[in-house]
Every structure is written in C-alpha cells, then in structure tokens.
Chains A and B, each alone.
Chain A
Amino acid sequence: MKGISIILLCLGVLATGLLLSLGIGRYPVSPAQILAWITGGSGLDGNVPLVMLQIRMPRLVAAVAVGGALALSGASYQGLFRNPMVSPDILGVSSGSGFGAALAILLSLPAATVQLMSFAGGITAVLVAVSISKYIGKGRDSVLVLVLSGIVVSSLFGALLSMLKYIADPLDKLPAITFWLLGSLVDIRPMDLAVVLPVVIIATIPLALVSWKLNVMSFGEEEARSLGVPTGVMRAVIIVCATMVSASVISVCGIIGWIGLVVPHIARFLTGPDHRLLFPVSFLFGGTFMLAVDTIARSAASVEIPLGIITAVAGAPFFIWIMKQSSQKSW
C-alpha cells in the first residue's frame, strides 16, 4: 500500500509538471487557454492547438520519456553491479553513441541516420565491453572485469570521438557535434517518438519482470546462484534491456549525464531498495526532473541551453548533498 501511494504521488507531481510546462515557452499560453484547449471550451486562441499538438506536446512527452528511460537504465545497472554509484554509461553506451552520431554528422548524413548510427554505436560499445570481459574473465571476479572492460571501451570510443572532432569542419560540423554531445530536445519530432517509445516500452517489460530476482542478486552473484537464481540469464537480460532503453533515448536527445546516476539515488531514499518499486518511481521521477530541465532549457534564455549543462549544474550540488545525507546512514 505504501508503494502504491508513492507511485500515485509521483504521478501527481508529473501531471502537475506537465500542465505547468505546457504553458511555458516562446508562445506563452495561459492556464485558462490550456484548460479551454483540453476541454474544448470556448474563447480558444486559434494558434493554441497548433502550438500544443505540433510543438509542445511532443517535446514534453520526449522529455519525460528520456528522463524516465535514463533513470530506469541507471537503476537497473546500479542493481546489477550492486553499487549505487554506477551510471548507465558504465559499459560505454554514451561514448559509443556519441561516436556513432558524430561520425554521421561528419558525413553529412540525414537526421534519421544520425539517430540510427548513434543507437548502433551505443549498442556496439556495450557489446565490445561484454565480449572483452567474457574473453578475459574466466574464473575471476566477473563483475569487476566487466566494469573495467566498460572503462576501456568508454575511453577508446572517447578517443575516436575526439579524433572526429579534431578533423571536423570547425565552422559547420564541429558546433553541430558539440551541440549533439551536450544533449537537446530541440529537434524532436513526433516521428522520433513513434520509433523510440516502442523500443523503450518493449525493453522495459523484461526489466519489470525480473525486478524481484534483481533484489536477490544484491548479495552477490555466487550467493544468488546458490539461492537458485540463474545469474547469467539475469545479467544478460539487464544489460541488453538497460542498454536498449538508454541507447534509444540517447539517439534522439544526445548525451545527458547525471540523470541516470542521481535520480535512482533519490528514488531509493523514497522507496527503499526493492526494485519492484524503485523502477517505476525512478522512471516517473526521472521524467519529472527532465521535464523541469527541458522547460528551463527552452525558456530561460534567448537561445536553447544544452540539457547536459543544466543537469550537471543542477546535479552536482544535489549529489553532494545526497552523499552527505547517506554518509549518515546506509544506502
């Protein structure tokens, strides 16, 4: 019952956030107008339906999906690695995605191809990390080997990305790559959502289904195996699904740090460690947080502020505060 009330609370906060953000932007819409638009009432400004349906709604939905997906992915990885300090790019998904997107931008490929190559890059990086750990990890602490492989792959793709930036045209291509890497939802179209949302939903289902077994794995893989949990299958499910979730949203929004690390943390304060509750609350809370960040990004200044900058500026002090809190009690 406690769980349901927490989820309802988070839903309520998210709904309020959505209503508020709908009105904010270059073309301000008053709450009365929003109400009139929703209820089909009279006195509606003729431009409002267009602004809502074509511009604002897709972007708000995208913000919620992106924030929720990154937080869910982070919560999954933190559970798998039994470490609350883990972020979704621990196995290299961000640097792989960044490299894929930068390569596509450099080759002047269309936007849809940039997204596809970003997605492929993210998945490839994680596959390489997992393959390296399989190759090395016989009879050793396999989680540690996996993390180290992730660091190697991140750094490798990071270097390749730097090379692309170095050779990119500094007037045209380099700013585009840099802007992509900092994350933004400015170019989001309803079509992108139609592709990304199904991927996120499909990959979320297995995560939700194994969430209790993930609890059991919090005592370590060998203990979980002695308790009858097929740890190899579990690891594969978590890595594949969490990577699908994060790589698919990164492909449309670029690289946005901090959410996947900080949000599951805060959610855990609220819910405790049970992943059955932590997953939905992380998603809802991550979505709300991203919604706020994106609203600031598109309305605070005369130019779009990249999302990655805001999440880092907001996330860093927040995280310090959390570390201070949690040094007084266990995670």
Chain B
Amino acid sequence: MVNGSSSTLKMTGASLGYNGHAIVRDADLVIRSGEIICLLGQNGAGKTTLFRTLLGLVRPIQGGITIDGRDLTRFSPRELARYISWVPQSHSTPFPYKVSEVVLFGRSVHLGMFASPGQRDRQIASECLELLGIGHLAGRSFTELSGGERQMVMIARALAQEARFMILDEPASNLDFGNQVRVVQKIRDLGMRSIGILMATHHPDHAFMMASGVAVLEGGRLVQAGSPDGALTPEMLKRIYGVEVQVFDTPPNGHVGRKVCAPVVHGHGMYGNL
C-alpha cells in the first residue's frame, strides 16, 4: 500500500515512562520499511510503555525518537497516524459495526474533521480485506466474529490507514494454532509490501518464522539484538524468560529449513519415569 521512498523509525538512548519515572532506559531501536522486528520480553517489561510512546500517547522522558530524522514529539497526532498504525491486543466495541465499516475507520486519518469516507476509501478498505483473505467477512458484524477473524480485521484496518509503520501487540495471542500460523503468514506478507513492522510476541518461534530482526526488552532496557537466527540462542532465551530452551534446525524438506525452539520441561510427570 505504501509507495515510493522508504522510511526509518529510530530510537536512540531513549528513556520511556510516566511522570518522569522511567520504565524503559537506554532504548535503542531502528526499524526500516520492509523490516519485521519481533519484540520479545517478559510480561511487565515495558512493552506497553514503548508502544504508547511510539503512538504519541506518552512523551519520551529523554532521548530521541525520530521518523526520517524528524523528532516524534514534533508530529501532530494526525501526522503521526499517517506514519504509524496500530493493531491493539484486545479490541472491543459495544456497537455491532459491520466489518467493512470497521476497516473504513482506518481511513479517518485521510479524511477531514467533518468528512465521511467516499468511494475511493471504500475501494481501499475492500482491497485490504481481500489482501488478508477475509473479503467474505465484509458484511458480517464485527462483534460476532471469532478471535482470529477479529484480529485479521484489525490488521486490515491498520492496513487501510496506509501508514509506513505498523505496530502489532501480540497479534497471535489468544488464537488457536492454525490461526496463529495464518496471522504470522499474513504479517510476513505485509513486510514484503515495504511496511516497517514492530510486532510483540511471546513466541520466539514467530521470530524464526517471519522476522528480519529481534528486539529484546529485558531488565528495563530495550536492545536491538540482530537477526533471529543469530540472536535467539538458548542462552539469550534463558535470559529473557528464565527457563531452559533448546533451539534446533528443521530439516529442509522441500521448504527452506529454519530454527525452532523447544522449552525443556523437567520433572517426574506422567511420562517422565517410563
């Protein structure tokens, strides 16, 4: 959807938090168009603070965050929405809007204060639904969809925003195994459309499946750790999650091989003493 020049989102030595109290320090992060960065970290590591800062809802305490060299705090909310779209983790509305209407909401940033969406906006919204393979949901009520379908609609809405960067907050959580893989596949496709993606996940496997880079939130610090294959070693995973994890290569059986991780479960369970 985004055409032309590429963009860079850059965070250098930033402190993030509320009321002068830093939750994340020394945050370094670079996202370029077409890159998919997976953000890993424990619950409560500061992910929400990072996202709220990038969305302009919280000002960084210190340090610079720039988009194409321009300071984030100098963007108006409306300008920022043209650069960064957001797929929230939970999404609810008390009113039963149709899926096609929900996706149209993504067009708000391109409409004046008093305007309603027109033919072109409808066209774009419907293209976004088709692109994610959920065109058949257009006439359904959003509140009646399954979790996986809602997630796809939220991604379609963000896509309709035509922003250069997309932030996704654990888009695959609460989904069954098949839907997780489908969502990961679709996000991977978006990366090929030269959108810069920052996606939080609790599954290191997602990073192996799709990411071009990994960022780690750990101990109040945000570190860009390089490519998933290089960064997500058993040692690193132990540091992040505090549990033993083994990392294997899958055999290249027709597909390109990749790494997978398998947590080590100790103990004397049902099968442990066979």
| Binding partners A and B | yes
Hey, which bits of chain A sit against chain B, CB under 8 A?
A: 82-84, 139, 209-210, 212-213, 215-216, 218-219, 222-230, 233, 268, 272-274, 276, 329-331
The verdict on B196 contacting chain A, using a C-beta distance below 8 Å, is: no
In-complex Cβ contact of A233 among B88, B110, B113 (8 A): B113
Chain B residue numbers with a CB within 8 Å of A227 are 81, 85, 105-106, 108-109, 157, 161
| Chain A contacts for B111, CB-based, 8 A | 212
Across chains A and B, the number of contacting residue pairs, with CB separation under 8 Å, is: 92
Give Cα A227–Cα B167 distance, bound, in whole angstroms: 12
Residue in B93, B95, B143, B161 whose Cβ sees the most chain A Cβ within 10 Å? B95
**CA separation between A272 and B144, bound complex, in Å?**
14
CB interface residues, B 77-91, toward A, < 8 Å: 77-78, 80-82, 84-86, 88, 91
- In the complex, A274 Cα to B92 Cα: how many Å? 16
Select from chain A the residue with minimum beta-carbon distance to B85: A226
CB <8 Å contact, B77 and A230:
yes
One of B7-15, B114-122, B212-220, B221-229 contacting the partner: B114-122
Which residue in chain B gives the minimum CB-CB distance to A237?
Answer: B113
Q: Is the CB of A228 within 8 A of B78?
A: yes
| B84 contact set on A, CB distance < 8 A | 226
List 7 A-B pairs, Cβ < 8 Å.
A212-B115, A219-B92, A222-B52, A226-B85, A227-B81, A228-B81, A276-B116
B94 lies within 8 A of A331 (CB): yes
Residues of A within 8 A of B110 (CB): 228
B-side contacts of A218, CB under 8 Å: 93-95, 97
Q: Are A226 and B81 in contact (CB under 8 A)?
A: yes
Further 19 A-B residue pairs, CB within 8 A, beyond A219-B91, A230-B113: A82-B94, A209-B113, A210-B114, A212-B116, A213-B108, A218-B94, A219-B93, A225-B81, A226-B55, A226-B81, A227-B108, A227-B157, A227-B161, A228-B108, A229-B108, A268-B95, A273-B97, A329-B96, A331-B95
By a CB distance below 8 angstroms, the chain B residues around A330 are 94, 96, 141, 143-144
Closest residue of B by beta carbon distance from A208: B114
In contact, A84 and B94 (Cβ under 8 angstroms): yes
Of chain B, the residue at the smallest CB distance from A223 is: B88
Min CB gap A238→B, angstroms: 13
Say whether, besides A225-B55, A276-B116, A330-B143, A216 and B93 are in contact (CB < 8 Å). no
B97 proximity list for chain A (CB < 8 A): 215, 218, 272-274
Q: Is B101 close to A, CB under 8 A? A: yes
The list of the 5 closest CB pairs from A to B, nearest first, reads A228-B109, A228-B81, A273-B95, A209-B114, A226-B86
The CA of A230 and the CA of B111, in the complex, are separated in Å by 12
| Nearest CB in chain A: distance from B273 CB, A | 51
Tell me how far the C-beta of A168 lies from the nearest C-beta in chain B, rounded to whole angstroms: 42
Report the minimum CB–CB distance from B35 to chain A (whole Å): 20
Known: A222-B57, A225-B77, A227-B108. A272 touches B113 (CB 8 A): no
CA distance A227 to B104 in the complex (A): 11
Q: Quick one: closest B residue to A83, CB to CB?
A: B94
Bound CA span A229–B115, Å: 12
B5 interfacial by beta-carbon distance below 8 Å: no
**Chain A residues, CB < 8 A from B52:** 222
A230 touches B86 (CB 8 A): no
Q: Let me know if A215 and B57 touch, CB within 8 A.
A: no
A143 nearest CB across to chain B (Å): 12
Is there contact, CB below 8 Å, between A216 and B55?
no
> Bound complex: CA of A273 vs CA of B105, how far in Å?
14
Given the interface contacts A213-B108, A233-B113, does A228 sit within 8 Å of B93 by beta carbon?
Answer: no
Q: Check if B241 is an interface residue, CB within 8 A of chain A.
A: no
B161 touches which of A83, A84, A228 (Cβ 8 Å): A228
Residues in B with CB closer than 8 Å to A225 are: 55-57, 77, 81
Q: In the assembled complex, which residues on chain A have CB atoms less than 8 Å from the CB atom of B88?
A: 222-223, 226
With A212-B116, A222-B57: A230-B78 Cβ-Cβ less than 8 Å: yes
Contacts of B248 in A (CB 8 A): none
Complex Cα distance A218/B94, Å? 7
